[in-house]
Structure 1
Amino acid sequence: MSLLSYDVVADPAPLASRTGTPAVGTVHVLVSNPNTYHVKWHSIEVEVPFGSGTGALTSDHTVITPKITPEKPFAGGANPTFGWDPTRGTPGLSGLPGAFIARDTKEVDMPPGSAMVLSLENFPVSDQEGLVLLRVNEDAEGSSRGRTPRPVRLAVLKKAAQVPTDFRPEKSQVDKGQNVVLLWDGPDDLTYTIALPDGTEKSTERLGPGKYRWRPNDPASVPKRDTTYTLIARSTGQPQSEGYFLTTTVHIEIPEFEHGMRALWVEGTTAKGRVTFTTTGVSIKKQSGRQRGDITAGKADVTEVVTGQAKVNGPLTAGTTNVSELVTEQARVNGPLTAGTTNVSELVAGEARVNGALAANNAAVNELVAGRAQVNGPLAAGQTNVSELDAGQVRVSGQLTTGKVEVNELVAGRAHVTGQAGQSLFDGQVIYSGECVVEELSVGQMEVAGRLTTRGPLLFHNQAGDPLVETIHEQPFGLRVRGRLEVAEGLTTRGPLLFHDHQGNRWMETVPEAPYGMWVRGKLKIDGPDLVLNGITYLYSELHVRGDLFVKGSADIGGDAKVGGHLTKGS
């Protein structure tokens, strides 16, 4: 009879034997000293029968994990080990069962009442039902009983599962929308269903003896996020609330949440940009989580944009926009647009305020206020106030106020050009390469390559604010010049043409309604090649003509007449 007491516990109990995929089991050998004296053991050997028969514990001894666990630390600093004994031969070849042996370099003292556990863990249980006999060989001594080997027999039961076991997904992690397959083993005399998270139960299919499977048979059952399934096994006639219940979880790589999710903030994986949720919306931060980050989008459709810099590859649609710099392909802002600089292909806004430069291909706004506006295509606005305007075509329903205007075509109700800082309101520069049509235009210098048409008066002032040239349609004359008028190609007026000196005295006029054509009270000097007088001409002073003089009507000259070329009298 052994000096120590031995017992065995199986996990699960009994061990499950089945064909196909084997069940996993563990056996614990409990060792204790029930005596009133100390027992010193030199070795404890556990023989394990291997194979696939009814009396075999497992078919593969190499996967068994042996472990020794004392109730209390061993006395005297002992540190025994528990492992495979290679001296016993290889199971199946030597014809002998394999063995695991516990031993130390010297005897191990076990005081009265002490205990330890010798475990054989996580082995595949052999597939046939039966009783497995484990042989324990004890080499120990104590009290008056000398050292001698003493054998002990322990029995472990293997039995086919009476309840479902090994409930598992074929793949524990799948892509969204990928089909899920659940597998398990169990007795064929039970009815199996799978309960979904909403409580709905789905029927299952039998693959073979003791083998079962479930797969979703409709798109609504395919999981969009991590889902836990419950296997329910019931006997015939068993109440709905009773049975065997097992659960398993399938994980989705990219989950979807139909009703949203809650989090204080969300951070990227490789790029550590962070989105923080606030009471008014979200805050975009850089990788540090402190500095403000950038937003890059193909299309942005928002009610209000307030940011340091906005870069939108596609169109931007917003109620209001407030940014330091806006770079986008197309911007549509229902309310005001406020920016440091703006660079867009097309701008449509109720009100645009740009502290720096506005660069666009097309712009249509109710009111434009900018430092400098450069529009490659047409600019249409209700009112425009800019330091410098450079555009292909400008259409302003209200008033245009700017320092410098350079456009191909200008259509406006009223145009004010302020020029350089510190100069008067009507002392800027306007350069037109096409056509200019305005209700009222006041400028210091104007160059028109095409045609200039004004529906109202046209005035030119000097730096002191004195009018030099004006057109007043309500008066009997059409053009009044108080200074010097230079015409490169030709000058045509539908009304009279008047010239005054610096004191305001009239000295030259053309009055088509009168019998004479031109009346000159001062000196008339023609630097051009020819002078042609069609009507009656009165000159109070001298006449100087560098080229030829053609008189088709009559000419009355009060002073000298100097003609550089020929004098011809027509009929």
Structure 2
Amino acid sequence: MTMLTYTLLTDPAPLEASAAGRPPSTGTVYLVVTNTGQQAAFWSTITVQVPVGNGAGDLTPDFGKIKPKGEYGTWSGTLSSVSVQPGPQGSNAFQVTAPGGRASFAPGDHMALTLEVTVAPAAGLAVLKVTENTGRTRTGRLSSSVAAVSLVKTAAKEIPPPRDFRPDKAMLDGTDTLTLSWEGSDDFSYEILFPGGQRFIASNERSWSPAAADAPTRVTTYILVATSRSTPQRKHYLTTTVQVRNPVLETLTATTGIDTPWVQGATDATKGRVTFTGTGVEISNNSGGQSTVTADKADLTGLNTEWVQGKSADDGWISFPKEGVNVRRGSGHDWGSVFADKADLNGVNTGWVQGKSTDDGWISFPKDGLNVYRDGSRSWGNVAAEKADLNGVSTKWVQGRDDRDGWIDFSYYGVNVFRHDEGTKRWGVIGVNRIDHH
């Protein structure tokens, strides 16, 4: 039976065996030595033999990679380091030697030996062999006693999949920088897929921001692909979606409709705006003022407007007062002209009417009737007609169509018939077929 008591602890507890294709599993083994007796024990050496190999009963596959250290603590709380040295070549053991070759191990004192190890790949129970060289007196005979202390190695657990793939902002404005983050093990390699590209992530990184050229311009879904380094290889896929407040779209097809308070151009030069009000549509320019609608053709049921003008500022224009329509020329208020092939009217109120040329005859409408003028002047003109059906004619004379025809004038006394004779008033002849009088 040993004079000292040995307790084995591990971190993590239990230790996890290493797995093929993954980084080696590591852990720390703590061997706590205490004196639980009623009197001091004197010790010279304590040797800890470690099972080395890849089997279920082995702690580690490589003894040379174990990192040992030791510490001694008294009942009063004083701590001091102790030297831990490898044992003889091939022994796979560590040995602790008491200061001065022999030292008292008082009741309540303790010693902690720490071994940082790479854990063997097979799960199972590993037993460490502890040999103490102790005695009851400072100078008496020492004896060797052996104790077995054990620990459990569990099979490697499945690597937990990555989680919590998230953007730092769910809605991006034009100047915002996007950062995607996630939680995951170093046992995975990571890449991020997005429309038009993919990016591989360094093994120690758990966040990524797209470069300016890859920044989202519309709603974008990112895919995190985590690939295990174990055999067989496993892949995990996580997705997250980012919204853009002012998205850029190549085309937009809406099969049911679009509900929006306004639509605006994409650049400063074309930021005209269409606003949908309760009564219709308002068109604004890039400064917020009322603007222009340009179209090849407008098919309307009705149009309410103060005026209509041609496309040029010098074109004629039409205004709509209560009384009817005003036709103006140029950009001023001078009266303009109406050109038409035909006018079908119920009535015309006008000061005069003229042919299309300024040399054409024209008609004015004084209060007492109708004046016919020639050549755009105020010289009397002629009325030409095939037939006239009149209730009465007031005239000084009547002549045939030719200048050489006879003519009739109407004097105070009656009717005079003249023949054509170089402007002289020579009596003419009345020719009749029959005279029937009472």
TM over 0.5: no
Q: Which has the larger radius of gyration?
A: 2
Give the TM-score taking structure 1 as reference length: 0.30
Give the TM-score taking structure 2 as reference length: 0.38
- Between 1 and 2, higher relative CO (CA 8 Å, sep ≥ 6) is seen in 2
